[in-house]
Amino acid sequence: RVHRFLGLEVGVILGGMNPAQRRTAYHSDITYGTNNEFGFDYLRDNMTHSLDDLVQRGHNFAVVDEVDSILIDEARTPLIISGPADASSKWYAEFARIAPLLKKDLHYEVDIKKRTIGVHEAGVEFVEDQLGIDNLYEAANSPLVSYL
């Protein structure tokens, strides 16, 4: 009642909610939920391929009840998202087939100090040819970039 009196909209995040319901709750002025619900929503948002699939909005402030329990006791239990293999397994296999065909210095370069690999334009073109696509970076193919 106090929140409504002050003109604030309140939402709550519950375990059985679908993404649309979660999105609505997160867009409220105040959102209640457990640390696990907030944590898993954060992880799922970081796995989406489209901004339209995000449920959380920008973070501003948090009031955390029993923060010591969350930061110390529950920190021992990691938040892990797992599930059955999906279409991504196909792409891991496809890129695992292509990777050995790439030639160092022609298709990519290795920076040992930074522990990174940079793909040259020739490498991108080679991968596009192997996949039978015209442009790896066009919107329809953008999810494939993460496999490269």
Range of the domain at 143: 87-147
> Model pTM greater than 0.75?
no
> How much is the pLDDT for 134?
94
Specify whether 42 is located in the same domain as 99: no
DSSP-derived 3-state class of residue 29: coil
- pLDDT tens digit sequence for 49-104: 788 999 999 888 888 888 888 888 888 888 888 766 666 778 888 999 999 999 99
Number of independent structural domains in the chain: 2
> How much is the pLDDT for 24?
97
R_g (Cα) of the chain, nearest Å: 21
Specify whether 9 is located in the same domain as 70: yes
Averaged over 33-49, what is the pLDDT? Answer: 90
> How much is the pLDDT for 86?
64
**Please, what's the b/e burial string for 57-91 (b: 16 or more CB within 10 A of its CB; e: otherwise)?**
eeeeeeeeeeeeebeeebeeeeeeeeeeeeeeeeb
DSSP state of 134: S
CA dist., res. 87 & res. 147, Å (int): 12
